[in-house]
Amino acid sequence: MNSVSLSKQIRDICLDEYKAYSIYRALSRIPIVNRKIRTILEKASEDEYRHYMFWKKLSNECRPRFTIITGFIWSIILILFGVTVVLKLLELKERDASSVYREVLERYPDFGKELEDIIIDEERHEKEFLENIDEVRIRYLGSIALGISDALVELTGVYAGGIGAFANTLSAGIAGLLAGISAAISMAIASYAQAKHEAGKDPRVAAMYTGSAYFIVVILLAIPYFTIKSIVIAFSISIAIAVMVIAYMSFYSYVIYHRKYLREFLESTALLLGVSIVLYIAGKALGYILGISID
């Protein structure tokens, strides 16, 4: 690695350390974070600030800026996705610096002890996070994904097929709502039965997460049908909401399971739209053949 490239890498690490310090400190002040995790985050923020000061000695170009807006964005990410996702995003960034550490050690052998302490700190952070942060929503992410994916496919299918069968949005909304509530209960029971055969899972908690996730999607997709009179516009908004839910779950897959975000998002969206198109055509055909138009 040439000197210009190494200097840039050192500057980037310096900026990342300051960002990590600022984010850990901001997250530790959020009221919904429990005391144990808050203490871990406070200690991590102190360590990251010390790391930042070390890298700043090696870089004249390190001029960090952390705005209130950035802190607010990370706080929203924590509320939407949980502590685990935030920490994994930060740790992934820090793992990328390991190759640079070796280069710095070769070029600045006098800083070996300080660099070794930084590596020990990073490893301790990862260990502490793994041992002390065990979010229930992450443990039961499979149950949540089961409820959400099934609800998206089933409800968008019902609404797509209903375009040709229902004359107004209220009838379509009620039909989707009733079908969704019934399916949510059914999926919760199925999740309960499945979790009984999985080690480390409480069947009741798994059922609650699956049923709740399903029910939330049902409500979200039904809202346009109770607020808009045009069935086509209501369906379009419902599809847009479904795609946003897919984007939300794809982000979890990207961070937790290291899957490619775009591929995961596009595959799920294509499946959703494909089912919707097929059932729209089927609904139109049945409405035309049977002369059905439900008021």
Q: Is residue 60 part of a domain?
A: yes
Per the structure, the complete domain to which residue 256 belongs is given by 137-290
Q: Based on the domain organization, do 85 and 217 belong to the same domain?
A: no
* Predicted confidence (pLDDT) per residue in 94-126, tens digit: 655 666 777 777 777 777 778 778 878 877 777
* Predicted confidence (pLDDT) per residue in 177-196, tens digit: 998 999 999 999 998 998 88
Q: Is residue 14 part of a domain?
A: yes
CA atoms of 270 and 274, how far apart (whole Å)? 6
Q: Greater confidence, 57 or 131?
A: 57
- The whole-chain average pLDDT of the chain stands at 82
Q: Based on the domain organization, do 126 and 78 belong to the same domain?
A: yes
* Last residue of one domain, picked from the residues 80, 101, 134: 134
Name the region of 271 (left: φ>0; alpha: ψ -120 to 50; beta: rest).
alpha
Q: Is residue 295 part of a domain?
A: no
Q: Greater confidence, 164 or 113?
A: 113
Q: Based on the domain organization, do 25 and 54 belong to the same domain?
A: yes
239-252 mean pLDDT: 92
Determine the pLDDT at residue 211. 92
Q: Based on the domain organization, do 183 and 168 belong to the same domain?
A: yes
Q: Based on the domain organization, do 113 and 151 belong to the same domain?
A: no
Determine the pLDDT at residue 26. 83
CB atoms within 10 A of CB 258: 9
Q: Based on the domain organization, do 35 and 77 belong to the same domain?
A: yes
Q: Based on the domain organization, do 176 and 252 belong to the same domain?
A: yes
Q: What is the CA radius of gyration of the chain?
A: 25
What is the sign of the dihedral through the CA atoms of 272, 79, 210 and 170?
A: negative
Going by pLDDT thresholds of 50, 70 and 90, the confidence category of residue 1 is low
The count of domains in the chain is 2
Closest to 247 measured CA to CA, from 260, 267, 263, 265: 265
pLDDT over 90 at 133, yes or no: no
Residue 77 CB partners (closer than 8 Å, separation 6+): 85, 86, 89
198-220 mean pLDDT: 90
